Amino acid sequence: MEENNNIIENGIRLQNGKVIQGYPKLEPVVEEDKETPMFDTTGEYFSIRKKPQKPKLTDEEELALRNLFTDNAFLILANRERILNDSRMLLTPLCVRNGLAYSGAFQTATLGVYLEWWINAPYSVLFDEQDDAMSLIWYVSGSPLSGGNLCSKVTEDGKTETVRVPFFIKLWPKFTDILADYHDAKKLYQAYTLTEVIDTLKSETTEEFYKESIRQFHHQAKVRLLNTRLKDLERNYEKLKEERDSYEKECHFALFQLKKDEITAFYKEYLLREENLKDRKEELDRENRELKRKLRHGELTNKEYQPLLNANKKEIEQRKWDLDNFAHECISSLVPKLAERSTGLSFKDLDKILSEIAEFVMSNN
């Protein structure tokens, strides 16, 4: 069994690394007679050394607690700092049956799970496109494979609404990760009931504090969401660009195949001219070094040196231009499709096309 790194001695580590104190549970234990085990006959205990089983909530009781949560979701959010600093509030269990297709219902979530999720999962907070009103995803249900989902959001006035979100894959993984981090803490430490927490928050939260806290969270959540969307768009752009380049390359290879022999002959001639350019450049580099030596030793004046150096530079530039122009004209002639754009075959694309031709020729040898 893997160790939960979020549980430390008498403490819980939050998503941001902060550690808060936990209050260990004081569980009742049934005394055991080693020779003659005695079973409780009242039905309160299931077996030896088992704690009393809490009576199962009725559907009406579960609904009432769920409504208590959604009715006060923004009150809870406004008091996020306080709750995240008190493990008994943090571990308050909630009657919300989240789940995934093929996996079933999740474990019981707590106030801490939701608060840390709303803080750390930008897509869990929604903003209306018209008035920028904020709402919170409070119910998670869907398929991790298809992405189909039926979630639910709650607005500041406590109204809930079923929503199908297009970004379900960005919602549930973080929720389950945080939920897993709370698994051991729920067993080890004390927790308040939701009713106790809400009563406390209502009695101590001023209207001024509530408004300012929600305003701050609205701003922070919106910034997190916009930054996340920007990163997602950048990733999608790069992915689409890679796909486009891949399809474009396949198209080019198909065009090259139609003129396979001519393309191969062109590329061999191009390599020969490129090698000649390289040889000539090396010759002129040696000449330039010799010119510099003569300048240092007074065999040439600077007035004599500069025109000779410039002539050599211009020759190399002209030879490079001639090579590129040769490639440009040949490719445009052999593969007219590449020159049918409004701007024709640009010299900017030339290196890319030459690289593809090189790969094409090599793959056919």
DSSP for 259-315 reads: THHHHHHHHHHHHHHHHHHHHHHHHHHHHHHHHHHHHHTTSS-HHHHHHHHHHHHHH
The mean pLDDT of the chain is: 88
Least confident of 54-58, 67-71, 152-156, 318-322: 54-58
pLDDT of residue 341: 61
- Residue 125, classed as helix, strand or coil, is strand
pLDDT tier at 237, thresholds 50, 70, 90: very high
CA nearest 176: which of 126, 238, 104?
A: 104
Instruction: Please say whether the beta carbons of 123 and 175 come within 8 A.
Output: no
Percent over 90 (pLDDT), the chain: 77
More confident residue, 104 or 35: 104
pLDDT tier at 56, thresholds 50, 70, 90: confident
Least confident of 214-228, 269-283, 346-360: 346-360
pLDDT tier at 54, thresholds 50, 70, 90: low
Which residues, at least 6 apart from 329, have a Cβ–Cβ distance to it below 8 Å?
none
- Residue 27, classed as helix, strand or coil, is coil
Residue 41, sorted as left (phi over 0), alpha (psi -120 to 50) or beta, turns out to be: alpha
Least confident of 36-40, 175-179, 252-256: 36-40
Tokens of 353: 């096309």
Give the integer Cα–Cα distance in Å for 332 and 338.
7
For 243-278, what is each residue's pLDDT tens digit?
999 999 999 999 999 999 999 999 999 999 999 999
pLDDT of residue 2: 46
**Domain boundaries along the sequence of the chain:** 7-234, 259-363
Element (H, E) at 104: strand 104-105
Which residues, at least 6 apart from 64, have a Cβ–Cβ distance to it below 8 Å?
none
With a cut of 70, say whether residue 27 has pLDDT above it: no
Which residues, at least 6 apart from 80, have a Cβ–Cβ distance to it below 8 Å?
115, 119, 213, 217
pLDDT tier at 338, thresholds 50, 70, 90: confident
pLDDT of residue 101: 81
CA nearest 98: which of 36, 144, 47?
A: 144
pLDDT tier at 102, thresholds 50, 70, 90: confident
- The owner of tokens 């090396």 is 282
Angle ∠(172,23,173) on CA atoms, nearest 5: 10
With a cut of 90, say whether residue 42 has pLDDT above it: no
Instruction: Please say whether the beta carbons of 25 and 58 come within 8 A.
Output: no
Q: Which DSSP state fits 17?
A: S
pLDDT of residue 156: 96
pLDDT of residue 288: 96
Least confident of 7-21, 165-179, 186-200, 207-221: 7-21
pLDDT of residue 1: 41
Residues 295-332 as b or e (16 or more Cβ within 10 Å = b): beeeebeeeebeeebeebeeeeeebeeeeeeebbebbe
**Model pTM score:** 0.71
Which residues, at least 6 apart from 145, have a Cβ–Cβ distance to it below 8 Å?
101, 102
- In one letter, which amino acid is 276? N
For the segment 87-97, the average pLDDT, to the nearest whole number, is: 94
CA nearest 132: which of 109, 113, 155, 108?
A: 155
For the segment 19-26, the average pLDDT, to the nearest whole number, is: 90
| β-bridge pairing 141-142 and 160-163 | unpaired
Tokens of 331: 């490719």
pLDDT of residue 273: 97
CA nearest 176: which of 120, 113, 225, 123?
A: 113
Q: Dihedral sign, CA of 199, 201, 205, 211?
A: negative
pLDDT tier at 212, thresholds 50, 70, 90: very high
Instruction: Please say whether the beta carbons of 70 and 192 come within 8 A.
Output: no
Tokens of 53: 């089983």
Element (H, E) at 197: helix 194-204
With a cut of 50, say whether residue 31 has pLDDT above it: no
For 123-170, what is each residue's pLDDT tens digit?
999 999 999 999 999 999 999 999 999 999 999 999 999 999 999 999
pLDDT tier at 107, thresholds 50, 70, 90: confident
Tokens of 14: 């939050």
Most confident of 15-24, 33-42, 166-175, 209-218: 209-218
